Amino acid sequence: MIAASGEGIAMFELLKNASLLVQLVMLLLLIASVISWTMIFRKWITIKAASQHAYQFEQRFWSGGNLDQMYTDLTRADVEPTGMESVFVDGFQEFRRLEQKSNITPSEMLDGVHRVMRVALVRETDYLETTLPFLATVGSTSPYVGLFGTVWGIMNSFRSLGAVQQATIAHVAPGIAEALIATAMGLFAAIPAVIAYNRYSTQVERLLTRYEIFMEEFLSVIQRRATISTVK
């Protein structure tokens, strides 16, 4: 415990005595790391909730229940429909609106419902992909920001060598140490962001694929209903 405390104090003194530019680099990387970790946990919660809601809605939709009643329940709920529910509500709402019109063909009705659902799908895509560009940016730029601090620290070490008659390890150690710390902080910020971006991008893509499959299947249901409604 005493040794760990001593190392912590030494590390703090090293950071405190680092050059201003290196301190700014470390602060920037620390802020980027904190923000990215916050976004990582929030995105995990968002994707998990969206997957659960999609599964629950699919179970309800394909249970053979009345679509009109399902639409009414979703629109009257206190929580605004999201995800697959939003695609269904917007599409079915447009279908009911077009169904009231006369002299409309099933093909025209189907095209109208499809356009509305595509808009809803784009909206859900934007929602699910929020913060992913930031994680990609942190993952790609943090190592270079840390490298910049590394180069600056090494430059300070060479400056200290040129200012003394006899060079010793004590003259170059602080600059090398702060350079290595900047590199480590750059990697600490970048690695989790890259892993999270790759993982969440794959999960979002799979979830959006489920939305698109449901949309096509729902269009088939709408087509059959539109044909029956037109015949009547």
- pLDDT > 50? residue 1: no
Q: How far apart are CA 142 and CA 185, in angstroms?
A: 8
Q: CB of 26 within 8 A of CB of 185?
A: yes
Q: Residue 1 falls within a domain, yes or no? A: no
Q: CB of 218 within 8 A of CB of 117?
A: yes
Look at 30-44, 89-103, 154-168, 178-192 and tell me which has the smallest mean pLDDT. 154-168
Q: Residue for token digits 């690695």?
A: 191
Q: Residue 31 falls within a domain, yes or no? A: yes
Q: Residue 2 falls within a domain, yes or no? A: no
**Which CA distances in Å does 90 have to 20, 154, 183, 186?**
55, 60, 50, 45
Q: How far apart are CA 119 and CA 20, in angstroms?
A: 49
**Chain centre to alpha carbon of residue 160:** 44
Structural domains in the chain (count): 1
| HEC-encoded secondary structure of the chain | CHHHHHHHHHHHHHHHCCCHHHHHHHHHHHHHHHHHHHHHHHHHHHHHHHHHHHHHHHHHHCCCCCHHHHHHHHHHCCCCCCCHHHHHHHHHHHHHHHHCCCCCCHHHHHHHHHHHHHHHHHHHHHHHCCCHHHHHHHHHHHHHHHHHHHHHHHHHHHHHHHCCCCCCHHHHHHHHHHHHHHHHHHHHHHHHHHHHHHHHHHHHHHHHHHHHHHHHHHHHHHHHHHHHHHHC
**Chain centre to alpha carbon of residue 152:** 33
Give the pTM: 0.81
Q: How far apart are CA 223 and CA 219, in angstroms?
A: 6
Domain that holds residue 183: 18-231
Q: CB of 221 within 8 A of CB of 64?
A: no
Q: How far apart are CA 140 and CA 36, in angstroms?
A: 13
Q: Residue 216 falls within a domain, yes or no? A: yes
- Comparing 28 with 167, the larger pLDDT belongs to 28
**pLDDT per residue over 11-56, tens digit each?**
566 666 667 777 788 889 989 999 999 999 999 999 999 999 999 9
Q: Residue 7 falls within a domain, yes or no? A: no
Radius of gyration of the chain (CA): 29
**pLDDT per residue over 54-93, tens digit each?**
999 999 888 877 888 888 888 887 778 888 999 999 999 9
Q: Residue 11 falls within a domain, yes or no? A: no
What is the band of 177 on the pLDDT scale with cuts at 50, 70, 90? confident
